[in-house]
Structure 1
Amino acid sequence: MDKRSNQILNQLLKEGELELKEASKQYQVSERIIRRKIKELNDELRANGLALIDINSEGVLRLEDRGEDLREQFRQFIKENNFYTYHLSKNERKTILAMLLLNADEYVTAAWISEYVSTSRNTIISDLNDLKDWFQKNNMNLISQVQKGYVVHASEGDIRSGMLKLLELNLDEEKYGMMGAYHAFGHLLLKEIQYQGCYEQIQRILKEEETRHDCFLSDFSFSVAVYELVILVNRIKKGKTLEHERQKEWGSTVQSSKYPLSRAVLDRLGREFSFQVPEAEVENFVFCLRRKSYLKSGTNNVDQLVIPVLIGEVIYRITSRFQINFYLDFALYDLLVDHMKSAIYRMASGEVLENPFRSEIEKGYPEVFSVVEECLRPLEDYLEVKVPRDEVSFLVMYIASMLERDKLERMKEQRVPAVLVCAMGRGTVQLMLAKLKQLEDVIHVTDVRSAHELKDMEQIKDQLVITTVPFQEGELPNLLMVTPMLEQDDLYRIRRKATKLRENWSDIPEESRRDEIGNNIGSETKAERNFLAEMLSADRIEINREARDWEEGVRAAGQLLYDSGAVSYEYIDAMVENIRVNGSYVVIYPGIAIPHAEQEKGAIREAASLVRLKTPVVFGNSENDPVSYIIGLSILNSNSINCAIYNLVRMFGQEEAKRQMEAQETPEELINTIRRLEHQYC
């Protein structure tokens, strides 16, 4: 299950049926993708013994009738989802990571997070680097230490504010305990703060105390108050409490009309979950309650914070209608709030701010205009004034820009499926796959074929075909001829072709979930994924070797493999012959060559050797010559070698990593440095 299929399921549970055409329009994907999502979802539902989704001949989606407990069955199904069964989008994953780090008691490593969320370590490290900026913008620091991992340094108040904002901006508009419970991402986000086992009790206690104190929150404010209390319970149980110093910020809270309600709720929570409630926590929750809107309150005082709350509610309803997610974008949310505050000030003072683009906006985004006007009515009722259409059009511009941003983000996450056609052996294929890693943001290699295997042309006609083998003109519609070496010009042409296809195709799979390239070619287990350091040993490393030319350097690397029993002697000759016949494609990066031969030529076991030349040699590769590092490879498993090659390119792409490798004077020092650098950069 993923976000899209979860949304479809929610809509069916809520409305009973959904037209395929309407779903395609609503979710801005092709009908083909909707059908594929339904098929994938039905496979999961069938495996769990649940009602299936039917699409009739008229294109109407309906859930099979399975009795009165249908909703409860699906509620349990959603709650059982985890990071292995629910496929997180990029933004969802980053949001989960932010909440995980905010709630962590100690350092957590990238390797642990990778295992926890079922995502590659490289992806997690990239996400964590992005999150450092996000934490900094929100008064927090994400600290990383070698061998220890990552931890957030911030005040308890800022940590709780961050947690609350993540919940406010990313949970469903409706109460989580009701329809919202059918949202897998919301469930997983709340699960990071251990909501299960306390959420229902907190809801019950707050409702009862509302009645007892004759003070009733609006639905939106009630939901936010419950989130705040879930966070409070979770943090106090972990021994994380607020300091009394914050009392200065809150002002006189004991005299507040909300103090009795706060005191009663927290006293009951303390008894329910067996913890002492510090006075600072009671005072802080008074401050939280003063920021809420109420349907009925025991006081006649009009809270000056009602308008900001109503503004937040308006924005939330608009973005929910269009299924726009803020995820970590607190700044954009705050920008919208500030704009609406300014608009209210202008309305109160009788000013009119004309929008010169109003007519174009009304024509270009009629649906958005209509929804914004509808969602503004509660605010208009409170203010007893009609929001001018010019002001509405400014808000529409914000929402339209968010819709366009989401569209662009979705397009970035869509990767064009591609088939690699190669007439050469598996060693060459793995080198090509390693280089294609540079394009994994735009393409997803689904298969590797030889030319004579392409009998089922119909199955691949919708994919990009990257081939070293010539085809007749028009035989395949999306064909791109490349060289086995995949020069920079080849990579540029592939990116340009894939980008154009991505813009034109509406039925590319919405999100490609794999972090490794390919299905069959990249689905190796962690045990099969070899790091370069694991394939090397000190006895297969030679430093400052003299070589007259490329052949002597290659033979030196082959000899190291032979001496350790990794290959037969014939394999050394095959390494040299491979370069003579197929050219210098083994020079995969400036200064690096990875000579190899086919398994049948004498590979006995998987291994690598490394020769660092005293004087660089020329292989005949104009782009990447001269070569200082020759890494001989003995290839058995065509999958596992891909990781080692990819890591090699990543390391040599870092100037600091190259300097550190150059500084090592013994094989033992060099292999230890490579091992450390692989974990640092890869």
Structure 2
Amino acid sequence: MDKELVVIIKLLLEKTLVTIKDLEDDTGLTTRQVTYRLNKVNNLLKSNGSEIIALKHKKDIILKSEIRDSLLEILNEYSKENIYYLSKDERLTFIYLTLFINLEYLSLNHFINSMKVSRSSVLCNIKELEDILKESNIYIKNNRTLGYYLVGPEVEIRRFMISFASKSLSGNRDCKILDLLIDEYDLDSFKDSRDIISKLANDHNITFVEDRLQDFIYIYIFLKSRMLSNEKKEYPISKLSNISVMESMKEYDFVKDLLKNHGNIDNIKPFDLNYISAWIIGISVGNIKDKTADMAIISRMVIKIMKRFENISGFHYIDQEKIFEQLYSHFRSAYYRLLFKLPIDNPLCERVKEEYKELYKIVKETMKPFNDLFEQEIPEDEIGYLTIHFGAILFNEREHTISTKKIALITCSGGVGSSALLYAELNNLFPELNFLLPVEISKLKEFEESVDIVFTSNYYDEVIKLKKPIIKVNPVMTLKEKNNIKRDVSILLGNGLLKQPKVEEVISIIKKYVQVSSESMLYNELAAYFYNMENLNHTKNTGITLSNMINENLICFNVKANNWEDAIRNSAAALVDNKVVTSEYVDSMVNIAKDSGPYIVVTKHVALPHAKPEDGAKETAMGIGILENPIHFGNKANDPVKYVFSLSSLDNEKHLQAMSELIGLLEDEEFYSVLDNAQNAKEVMDYIKSCEL
């Protein structure tokens, strides 16, 4: 059985209902190729003595429980198969991880025999791997005494190992390549390691993010093999912040107990204990109630992030304590990943950048001051996760009413942020359903009798075995996916939730009479149209551009000020004069600036004061004040301030697109030149409009 067939079977099992179009989109195969593989699936079902999937003239596939059970049996048999042919990407992973575990001697013949490919294929794969690694100063060396081996910064070598292992697990929906490596080199078994780690996690009260636990077990197996080798490794310990505090943490005790299970650990260096401890923290859920030794520093950073986001976005928190706890639970793990340069694969990152591009840009700008602390630009995958958290905060503070027609349950294995975002998104999408709070996979069985439908973010046996309708969802959904989910829920519950036409059926009618040049583009436009008909809020559909928020009457030159309070009041005077805000709103801006201190100075020479909508905002707008003489606001990094952008907003969302555009302008030196040299406000407005084109 080939891997594409395995993927088809897993996609069938991931949903109670699936369409041929879904399978095409998820696999990249044509209708003919999907149909061919479904016929192969039916042949497997026949040989298993099971009823087959009805395909003739059917676009929607709803698996019967008997077929589902039989497909699970087929997958179990596949996992036991010994013959497996590696793809090119898997061969690169195999070579790198083999080099990483630091066997005594590796020859070219070793790779040829292990991967069952030709000499030329192995040489090509090694060359391609060398090209990937050299950008990080990692090199593959070869000599008669040592064979093939890795040379380079140890932290970078480990980072690539984690990256290769994680991508193997997330990309193929299949961990067989890693199991092959473990069997080939007689490393610790995954099952035994999982049992030990699960027991110790329970003993030490450590809660892993479910999606990351499997990654860690495999990574630990490979990492321990390298740590126990005799090679002397150098670490840039001096560059790290004071990490001795880690020795007081439960994660450190967990790692010591974990390593004791493997007998002789004399070769394990102090840095290795901290390194694995950091990785444990990096994939576990932080809790402010734990009162850890690092709580003060993490808390200070979370507060800085919250304040900077609030000042850049114009967003005002309703429940600051709850939001702080949510961000803390994520950022404690992110802090150690960044400190030890541990990579984390965020499969939602590209989707977040597309679906929440304005919010992503604001979060990225929020995190810029932290680049120096971690001696690197914050990776996009980390920015993506933070965007998910802020997206969840934004959605959860909307008002909506939930009826109790049907009870729905969500299980999301991606962590606190993904669960919160998915909960908020589905609540907005289905106000007719009563959603229980998200639960962990391990607790799913407890709710089986009390719910009508289950939404899940991942493929797990526990979900598939439930005798309830199941909808597979992404924490970050496109408009197309939202339409498909509404269709699926309507079909499975039969409760009239679907109030819009089926996009596929509309396209079929159109194609009878006209030639469609791009079916995918037509699909997306129709999906967006039908979606918007239902007035479902989404930031990308309700945004206001910067040029719509600013007008010539709100731009003031040569604003006089003796201090920072004068600078705010005099720059915002145009907002009051034009009845955009009340004078009380300006008072609140000053008071908030007093509380926030230098945080309103968001970048070099730029202050961004604002207040809450209820403090006296009458319109969503922005004023620009160019000070006659720069003023110190108390921000050592960005003083003195010359430009004051005064924001007024009627809610927390509609201005986010404009703020994203403003961030772009604040990185543009020409914009400042225009502000400094413009003869009138029209020149400034013309420049702002030109940047939106």
TM-score interval (norm. to shorter) = 0.3 to 0.5
Q: TM-score, normalised by structure 2?
A: 0.40
When Rg is computed on C-alpha atoms for both structures, the one with the higher figure is 1
